[in-house]
Amino acid sequence: MPYPLNPTTGDEYILGSKTWKYNGSRWVKLGLSKTVHADTAFSELTSTPTTIAGYGITDALALGTTGTTALAGNSVLTDLSITDGTSGQVLTTDGSGGFTFASASSSTTLGGVGTYAFLMRTSTAQGSYINVGSTYSGSSLTYAGVSRSAGNNIIISPSGTPGGTWQAMGHVGGAFGGFNQRATLFVRIS
């Protein structure tokens, strides 16, 4: 029977072939010529079992048990057959059970998925805001740079159209009536 959490005087439990009885303040091993208290160091005990079963544990794993049967409750641990990657790589999944190792560093290829770029919307209409977190087709954006003229005018210089889909990492709202150029940092998501 399991060890009682809140024992009362007279409660007994069996561990292996030994019976213990609660005397109101301690667990006492029965059948001994002298009393042994439960707070006795394990090293002071004699005739201790030499196997897990000897301690009354009947559901332990047998030696040589494979990983596929090692989990309790007959659960199955699947062998994923994953070959170790190289230094600096991380394990990725496609969400359908496929695993591969990929470089932990981000791409530095211009316009590659996962890269960041400072981009400008090609639409200059007053209501063509850039909303943080929103996605935009690369065809509606252009690579951009910012400069300031001698007269303190801020100039956004467009150059080339990226492919794919981009997510805005910043927000650019209303500006002026008429011609507006809006640019912020984007990340390519596909």
Q: Where are the domains of the chain?
A: 12-55, 64-105, 116-188
Count other C-beta atoms under 10 Å from residue 57's C-beta. Answer: 11
Count other C-beta atoms under 10 Å from residue 188's C-beta. Answer: 21
What's the CA gap between 106 and 123, in Å, rounded? 30
SS3 content of the chain, % helix, strand, coil (to 5): 10, 30, 60
Residue 90 CB contacts under 8 Å (≥ 6 apart), including other chains:
101, 102, 103, 104
What's the CA gap between 162 and 137, in Å, rounded? 9
Averaged confidence pLDDT in the chain:
78
Bridge partner residues of 20 (DSSP):
13, 29
- pLDDT tens readout for residues 66-112: 555 555 454 444 556 667 778 778 888 777 777 778 777 667 788 88
- pTM of the full predicted structure? 0.45
Residue 169 has pLDDT above 50, yes or no: yes
Inter-residue contact 190 to 165 (CB < 8 Å): yes
Residue 35 has pLDDT above 60, yes or no: no
What's the CA gap between 40 and 34, in Å, rounded? 13
